[in-house]
Structure 1
Amino acid sequence: MTRSRPALLAALAPALVLALPLAAQAQDTTVSHGLSPFGDLKYPADFPYFDYVNPDAPQGGTMTFRGTLASNTFDSLNMFILKGESAQGLERLHDSLMVQSWDEPASYYPLVAESVEYPEDRSWATFTMRPEARFSDGEPIEASDVVFSLEMFKTQAEPYYRILFEDIESAEALDAHTVKFTFADGAATRDLPAMAAEMPILAEHYYADVPFDDSTLDPPVSSGRFRVDSVSPGRTITYCKDPDYWGEGLPVIVGKDNFDCYTYEYFADRTAQFEAFKAGEYLLQEEFTSSIWATSYDFPAIDNGWVKMETIPDGRSSGAQGFYMNLRRPVFQDVRVREAIGMMFNFEWTNQTLFYGLYERSDSFWENSDLQAEGLPEGDELAVLEPFRDQLPDTVFTDPAASPPVYSGERQLERSANRAASALLDEAGWTVGANGIRTNAEGDPLRVEFISDSASFERIILPFIENMKRVGIDAVYTRVDSAQEVERQQNFDFDIMIARIVLPLRPSVELRTIFGSRGAEQPGTLNLAGVSDSVVDALIEEIIDAEDLPSMTARVKALDRVLRAKHIWVPNWYKGTHWMAYWDVFGKPDTKPEYHRGTDYWWWDQEKYEALQAAGALR
């Protein structure tokens, strides 16, 4: 069929010559070098590189850092399916048509694509691809590969991707280097061209012989700048640049990933990991534990100036970290039970006693951003909520946006919290029995289980559990290994678990997988709480359909307010910064991108490394 296509096109050429002007007259289109939700691109078509990079950064060396804290092991190089536990850094293997800039909230510029064309209603988007683009085996990246990739994500990938791409109805290869995406009738299309642009590109010819949905440790033929160099399952993985990578010198590549290789080291526990960092076995670490940051960075390499500590501002939303309650469980169906449980977490005491006062309390899913709801709803936000008034609690309109109670921090459990939580549980029909455990009318105990694979969280969870027991909740803590935690999270097999979800500043269709009813039904999504609510679904669709930034902001605030009123989580804490520690062997650009920690733009400084070697600091 492919070989007969040129002859077919030649036969149709006269008809095409006549048809194309009519089509152009019927629908005006935009041809652009980039995409953003509201058309506000910072960089012009001829930009040489992003403002936050050093275009003359030296190339070479190896960046080493620890593997993700979400898991202490891995057994798969397939990041797109539920089977197995995928390694960190696999995104380095896969290019996309366009990539995001990190000094804008949500703008995308060409990588495999050269340009994009779309109509005013964004009902479709056509990408012109670079003919020089190649896979890791030297085969050309063509439009048919993009079509294949979409088909895999919509049919064989984990549910997260299926929901993410469900409004992309189809992709069509118009020729070898032109691919057209058509979006579903009635879909909110504002972000769909960018969604298509950011989709990883897979090699169709490779998966002709390799099942896409298999967990494997065999490196795939891939489209990105890096290749898997070495793998030791559960211990370490190294990615190195392809010396023949076709895209060197592109504006979106200049100054990025300046190391020849990136190595991720995995450790059985955080104690072993931290000792390895102190010994220089890996070179860069972001610290997430306040007690360690406050008390443990006092080893000789710090004193000698060999290891640097920095607090780096983070311009993104700080992340919705909290104890998520699984509303799929009958015990959490009553909002009064959920609110009472939230009252038992004493953040002020925890912050003073365990965190050295280094955190602030979260109350919003878009904490530390202009998208969080505050005070009473008014103006545009109130107008968004008004049509749903009869489906929402009165408090959404009469009270400030729900926030956790503030305690003195003088004792682990405040008497006022005890009284208020007990009253809510009484109202919900959970009464205290002779054994001190609350039961409902059927005699079922009010029992909840916390799960975590983190030893460092035990010191936080256990006082929380003690407080819950004082009001008659039979709360227990179960320590699981990382593989169990991942499996139980994917299958929603938990009562309460800790998670952190970073929500974008220009939210869109990903909200369906986090708070939407479809996400509640599908394993592997981020709808951990199991939110399934018609008002939430409607607000998500309104956000996706927002035509300008003010309307999007008002709609996100409305969603934030409604979610907070549901008490689906016990909010944790935030700091709005990154705690970074690193051996002093790196160079850095003068400017850090506002919406990224910036480490992807560092480089190896050989003189610094040799100085540490001479001092006996590093081997």
Structure 2
Amino acid sequence: MRPEFLVRARIAAAAALVLGAAGFARAEPAHGIAMYGGPALPPDFVSLPYVNPDAPRGGRIVLGETGGFDSLNPFILKGNAPWGLRSLGYESLMGRSWDEPFTLYGLLADSVQTGPNRDWVEFTLRDGARFSDGSAVTVEDVLWSFETLGERGHPRYRGAWAKVASAEAVGPRTVRFTFNTEDRELPLILGLRPVLKKAQWEGRDFTESGLEPPIGSGPYVVADHEPGRYLVLKQDPDWWGRDLPFNRGQHNFDEIRYEFFGDGDVVFEAFRGGAIDVYREASAAKWDSAYDFPAVAAGEIVKAEIPHARPSGIAGFVMNTRRPVFADWRVRDAMLHAFNFEFINATLTGGTLPRITSYFSNSDLGMRPGPAEGRVRDLLAPFADSLLPGALEGYALPASDGRQSNRGNLRTAFARLEEAGWRVDDAGVLRNAAGVPFSFEILLRQGATETQKIVDIFAEGLRRLGIAVRVTAVDSAQYTERTDAYDFDMTFYTVALSLSPGNEQRLYWGRDGVTRPGTRNWMGMDSPAAEAMIDAMLTADGREAFVAATRALDRVLTTGRYVIPIWYAPRSLIAHRARLKYPETVPIYGDWIGFLPDIWWTEEN
């Protein structure tokens, strides 16, 4: 772990506490905005602190992806668009610094101003901001984009837009948004909304996917593509924002090419063979054993380990409580006991990766061991009757002795199933009181070889309980369609969580997602306690109250027993061509959004 990262993480944590104690101050027109206190960088900053401001420009990078795409519109629910297109082709009013928990600096907007209680926000567009077709970015484009995304775009945009009471132009380059809900994060959320060109969509249905890319103002434009096979982005030679201090040291490649493959193992072989330039390794065991090929020995490939200080997030097998088989928390608890994490981890990673113990573990925002105390307990107490066991008393995930048999935990799992009304018949089949056998489907994406290995071990334990498990692998398009519609019993699930959780938590865990398609509430949870904790996070008047609300939410989520968590990586494992470089100073978020390929460069020229 680099010393630069450790020092920066400590400084950022200390600054967050100091700023949190100061609460929220009235903001005059400013170059940036922070969730707590003020931005760390002054108005005349030269570049973001984790970039190389003198990085050479030019060259290309080839990245490998599993799955495919059938749309170039990343802003709607319909279709499957390449993920990189949103961040590299389009810009927002403000840009995020990944070296601060939640701070934005002017991008399309030259300045931002909020009311004393953040009940409104004004953005003033930067003179000279242009779309890739050369036309100016206007106030009308901003207003149209926000309304269109909020009403017809992907569900992730709707929650914040519902809290906007009015949106209006208050000057030739200034827009004001007034809010109808107390929510101190809203100015930052709107600052990150993408801005599209209104004229491109006149007379067209925005909700229909297609292969004509929307016109953006970002550094890259689509140069070539073939659905499901490749996407080529080339830097716009007339990109208006090239010389902004915020962009200095970023977006250095002339060309970024994404190659799509149907299987994760094929991606690795393509990397070994030189077809792609970077490979993110998910297996610590493979990292130690599978990189002995000639290019590594010759120094043509470098193995890099990138540390981070972000929450673990959640990754594992989510149970869909909309399905009767998983509606009872005791059944879900049985699944957690039947999942032999210690044996699976030892088998697949050599036991080197730590387990995800809660949704915000690995951070100050995560629930603490033992009973809830202080402000956390005060927040949860009104919901004591509806909380599941462990939320107030203390909870820890089941742990096995590491043996393949997992006898102790399987006995506990069977006891939970009996409490929920399930019994094993003479033929060894687990049935409920109506005689219906316990069976369910695990839905997987084709090519998810690592996940398939986990399922194979897990399914064997379930069969010993008399449970029939069907494993179904579908292509990327079908997988997206089925998970958007919550058409599954159990599937692999990941949600990356940041150091600044806010409005997106409703998209993840809010009750609207029980029926509304396309949210991240794959488990179908409907928890008044979770809703209340999110409200407390959004209205917290300082860092201490915010942390308490997040820890309380973490308890509700974890003890809900919705997901069987696996492991997380405290560092990212990236193998790359030696000609590719990244800065010595790593942001606190590490290898995340805004890192690769954003601040990398090549020395091939």
TM-score of the superposed pair, with normalisation by structure 2: 0.92
- Indicate the structure (1 or 2) with the bigger Cα radius of gyration: 1
1:297 to 291, 304, 320: 291
In structure 2, C-alpha distance between the alignment counterparts of 1:57 and 1:548, rounded to whole Å = 38
What are the residue-to-residue correspondences of 1:458-497 with 2, within 5 Å?
Answer: 458-497=452-491
CA deviation after TM superposition for structure 1 residue 40, in Å: 3.3
Q: Please say if residues 102 and 594 of structure 1, whose CA atoms lie closer than 8 Å, have aligned partners that are also in contact.
A: yes
Aligned residue number for residue 424 of structure 1: 416
Amino acid across the alignment from 2:78: K
What SS is found at the alignment partner of 1:32?
Answer: coil
2:438 to 435, 440, 446: 446
Aligned residue number for residue 40 of structure 1: 38
Aligned residue number for residue 338 of structure 2: 344
Amino acid across the alignment from 1:266: F
CA deviation after TM superposition for structure 1 residue 280, in Å: 1.4
The question of 1:578 aligning with 2:572 is answered yes
CA separation of 1:198 and 1:126: change in aligned 2, threshold 3 A: same
Q: Please say if residues 325 and 497 of structure 1, whose CA atoms lie closer than 8 Å, have aligned partners that are also in contact.
A: yes
1:523 to 517, 523, 542: 517
Report the identity percentage.
38
CA separation of 1:243 and 1:419: change in aligned 2, threshold 3 A: same
The question of 1:364 aligning with 2:358 is answered yes
What are the residue-to-residue correspondences of 1:129-168 with 2, within 5 Å?
Answer: 129-168=125-164
What are the residue-to-residue correspondences of 1:121-136 with 2, within 5 Å?
Answer: 121-136=117-132
What SS is found at the alignment partner of 2:33?
Answer: coil
Which residues of structure 1 form unaligned runs of 5+? 1-26, 608-619
Amino acid across the alignment from 2:359: F
Aligned residue number for residue 50 of structure 1: 48
Offset from partner CA, 1:141-199 (integer Å, 9 cap, x none) = 01111100111112111222212432233321223311111112xx2321100011100
Aligned residue number for residue 109 of structure 1: 105
Q: State the Cα RMSD in Å.
A: 1.6
CA deviation after TM superposition for structure 1 residue 572, in Å: 0.9
CA separation of 1:164 and 1:119: change in aligned 2, threshold 3 A: closer
Q: Please say if residues 64 and 263 of structure 1, whose CA atoms lie closer than 8 Å, have aligned partners that are also in contact.
A: yes
In structure 2, C-alpha distance between the alignment counterparts of 1:593 and 1:290, rounded to whole Å = 22
CA deviation after TM superposition for structure 1 residue 31, in Å: 2.0
Amino acid across the alignment from 2:366: Q
Aligned residue number for residue 58 of structure 2: 60
CA deviation after TM superposition for structure 1 residue 394, in Å: 5.5
Amino acid across the alignment from 2:213: P
CA separation of 1:595 and 1:29: change in aligned 2, threshold 3 A: closer
Amino acid across the alignment from 2:106: P
Amino acid across the alignment from 2:568: Y
What are the residue-to-residue correspondences of 1:493-572 with 2, within 5 Å?
Answer: 493-572=487-566
Aligned residue number for residue 89 of structure 1: 84
CA deviation after TM superposition for structure 1 residue 240, in Å: 1.1
What SS is found at the alignment partner of 2:411?
Answer: helix
In structure 1, C-alpha distance between the alignment counterparts of 2:490 and 2:160, rounded to whole Å = 25
In structure 1, C-alpha distance between the alignment counterparts of 2:544 and 2:92, rounded to whole Å = 30
2:392 to 397, 400, 412: 397
Aligned residue number for residue 376 of structure 2: 381
Aligned residue number for residue 238 of structure 1: 232
Offset from partner CA, 1:394-439 (integer Å, 9 cap, x none) = 53222x2x222121212x2321112111111111111112222222
Aligned residue number for residue 216 of structure 1: 210
In structure 2, C-alpha distance between the alignment counterparts of 1:302 and 1:500, rounded to whole Å = 31
CA deviation after TM superposition for structure 1 residue 300, in Å: 0.4
Aligned residue number for residue 14 of structure 2: none
Q: Please say if residues 217 and 239 of structure 2, whose CA atoms lie closer than 8 Å, have aligned partners that are also in contact.
A: no
In structure 2, C-alpha distance between the alignment counterparts of 1:212 and 1:175, rounded to whole Å = 28
Count of matched residue positions in the alignment of Structure 1 and Structure 2: 573
Q: Please say if residues 462 and 477 of structure 1, whose CA atoms lie closer than 8 Å, have aligned partners that are also in contact.
A: no
TM-score of the superposed pair, with normalisation by structure 1: 0.90
In structure 2, C-alpha distance between the alignment counterparts of 1:88 and 1:392, rounded to whole Å = 37
Q: Please say if residues 135 and 222 of structure 1, whose CA atoms lie closer than 8 Å, have aligned partners that are also in contact.
A: yes
Q: Please say if residues 308 and 582 of structure 1, whose CA atoms lie closer than 8 Å, have aligned partners that are also in contact.
A: yes
Q: Please say if residues 144 and 176 of structure 1, whose CA atoms lie closer than 8 Å, have aligned partners that are also in contact.
A: no
Aligned residue number for residue 244 of structure 2: 250
What SS is found at the alignment partner of 2:71?
Answer: coil
1:279 to 273, 289, 311: 273
Which residues of structure 2 form unaligned runs of 5+? 1-24
CA deviation after TM superposition for structure 1 residue 531, in Å: 0.9
Aligned residue number for residue 18 of structure 2: none
Larger CA deviation: 367-376 vs 29-38: 29-38
CA separation of 1:394 and 1:310: change in aligned 2, threshold 3 A: closer
What are the residue-to-residue correspondences of 1:584-595 with 2, within 5 Å?
Answer: 584-595=578-589
CA deviation after TM superposition for structure 1 residue 384, in Å: 1.6
